[in-house]
A and B are shown apart, each in its own frame.
Chain A
Amino acid sequence: MLKESIKMALENIVSNKMRSFLTMLGIIIGVGSVIALITIVSGATSTVTDQVASMGANTVTIQVQGTPLKQGLTQGDVNKIAELSNIAGIAPTISGQTTVAFDGNTMDEITLQGKNDVYFENTEDVISSGRIINTIDTENKSRVALIGNDIANELYVGKNPIGQEIKIGGITYHVIGILQESDSFASADTNSSVIIPYTTAMGVVGAKYINSMTVYIADEALADTTTRQIEGVLTKAFNGDEDGYSIVNMQSILETIEEMTSILSMMLAGIASISLVVGGIGIMNMMLVSVTERTSEIGLRKALGAEPKQIQLQFLIESVVLCLIGGIIGFILGVSLAWVVANLIGTSFALTASTVLLAIGFSAAIGVVFGFMPARKASRLNPIDALRSI
């Protein structure tokens, strides 16, 4: 019976090609736009979250503003944080301004950063040549430096700076590597920076405080607990003055982004689904016309023994099949559009099983909802009146 109904529905749709297509158009546009929007937004979201995650989803960032009593964190504070559980590593940063010189040439307003091996182990593509600052450099407070591209080009014309000496703030260091050239999008301009071990900055240059640090967490699932423990250490260090520092958990930023984009995508899909309702009304209209046109067919079927329920099922199947065909076409168009858009704006494109199910489920539901009334009308026709109307 079901098989027969589906076959008859297909025959009916095919025999009215033009009308079926025009009716399906609403569903095609509706499903197409909903699927395109959802796919585009979820692709863009995953691109953004990937970028954020590449900065380290398992990191807690601490910025120190300082208070009049305590202008920054000390090595002692760092050690206290290092003693907490679930800490994979700590990368403190000291920043300042300095001058650099080589062979009589001097450059002013150079950014000086003190970092450690943990930073380099967790960050990709910091240097373009040479070697990074390692554990031994950090422990020994070695006088080694990584220099920016501009410094390399200006101070070492025609020479390879690696292995050469450089005077930073009057103290001699060995150049061990050259920093990756920074493009205009980077948050910090590394082209006129030098990086030395932070221990060297504290022990040799005389920097007293750590200005910021990144704490790497071993188990992301416990990120919130660990963040709270770190906060406890910081509050104590600043004597309860919370203005002295700020602490940001990457995991929570990621969650916020995901929450925001899912609200956005739901809102957009909601707007697009208005066109689905319009499409559904089109389906209802066509089904009503079809019931009227086929009044005598319905009467005949009833005379031959069709139950009202079977007539209803037949028309319901017709409307569902119509919507499903429209939904599948709309799905293909929507996904293609999303693919084109993703390629144009350079976000990632991913098709999830839930999107496929959503498209199919939505179109079938529209077929049932908007086909119900016409189908019931057909099932309630009086067979005598129906047979007479030839």
Chain B
Amino acid sequence: MPEKILEMQSLVKTYIMGEEEQVVLKGIDLDINRGDFLSVLGPSGSGKSTLMNIIGCLDVPTSGTYYLSGELIRDLPEVDLSHIRNREIGFIFQQFQLLPRLSAQKNVELPLIYAGVPEKERQARSAHILERVGLADKMNNRPNQLSGGQQQRVAIARALVTEPTILLADEPTGALDQQTGHQIMALFKELYQEGKTIVMITHDADVAKNGSRIVRIVDGNLSEGVYNA
């Protein structure tokens, strides 16, 4: 029996802009099991980032239910949402989102600071995880002293360091050239093989093929895609 860690039912997200109401997600049903590598494939403006924001507890749905690790995510105060984000989610962004003044290691330590992990342990864990993504010799470099691919590895290390329930990546290869993109995808596959649960959003069908499972989102509607054995 696979363990269900994420469950969405009839999830709707509506944006109100002045008089107009725009329904961006039109009743989405989605289950994710532990160990899945799910690709969410869809064209621009289809609602991918909106879905990712809801999965990542940065935003709340207009209606429908969303359970993450058995907890209903609705009407929660900001403080609880920040704890869930810290504990359950590891974000990986298209633009890396590293803090330019901090070294690679300090960037990786950030979520641990908010988790209240003591300094010694933070250093040990961040060093260990940076080694894991192949940046043992770049720990003290600042982001502007790293290539794009290396920066994304730092971002992946930062997402991994809290050992979250889900790794959530929005266009992780979008800002990288093809070869570097392949390397990052190879790393994702390794993480999948290690048993990590990954949700990856992309508009590129080739990138999406790296996932163990693909769903398509078109104009706010989600449909199950082909399995990628």
Contacts and interface: CB of A to CB of B under 8 A. Distances in A.
B209 interface: no
Contacts of A309: 79
Interface stretch (A22-30, A227-235, A294-302): A294-302
B86 A15 contact: no
A301 B95 contact: no
Interface stretch (A131-139, A191-199, A382-390): A382-390
Given A297-B99, A300-B99, A305 B58 contact: no
A259 interface: no
Contacts of A15: 101
A377 B91 CA distance: 24
A306 B114 contact: yes
Interface string A359-390: 00000000000000000000000011001001
Which of B56, B91, B97: most chain A Cβ within 10 A? B97
B101 A304 contact: no
Given A11-B101, A309-B79, A387-B93, A303 B114 contact: no
B93 to A, nearest CB: 7
Interface in A297-326: 297, 300-310
Contacts of A304: 85-86, 91, 110-111, 114, 158
Interface string B70-91: 0000000011001101110101
A308 B78 contact: yes
B162 to A, nearest CB: 8
A15 B102 CA distance: 12
B113 interface: yes
B212 interface: no
B58 A383 contact: yes
Nearest to A14: B101
Interface string B90-121: 01010101010100000000110111100000
Contact residue range for chain A?
Answer: 20 to 34
Interface residues of B, number: 26
Contacts of A302: 58, 82, 85
Contacts of B85: 302-305
B123 interface: no
A157 interface: no
A4 B82 CA distance: 19
Contacts of B93: 387
Nearest to A15: B101
Which secondary structure characterizes the binding site on chain A? helix
A11 B101 CA distance: 8
A1 interface: yes
Given A304-B86, A305-B83, A384 B116 contact: no
B7 interface: no
A307 B113 contact: no
A4 B113 contact: yes
B145 to A, nearest CB: 16
A303 B56 contact: yes
Contact of A303 (B78, B91, B99, B101): B91
A12 B99 CA distance: 12
A305 B56 contact: no
A390 B58 contact: no
B69 interface: no
A308 B82 CA distance: 8
A212 B148 CA distance: 96
B57 to A, nearest CB: 9
Contacts of B59: 384
B97 A296 contact: yes
Given A307-B79, A383-B58, A1 B113 contact: yes
Interface of B: 53, 56, 58-59, 78-79, 82-83, 85-87, 89, 91, 93, 95, 97, 99, 101, 110-111, 113-116, 158, 162
15 contacts: A1-B113, A11-B101, A300-B97, A301-B114, A303-B85, A303-B89, A303-B91, A304-B85, A304-B91, A304-B114, A305-B82, A305-B114, A305-B115, A308-B79, A309-B79
- Which 6 A-B pairs have CB atoms at the shortest separation, nearest pair first? A305-B86, A305-B114, A304-B111, A307-B82, A300-B97, A305-B85
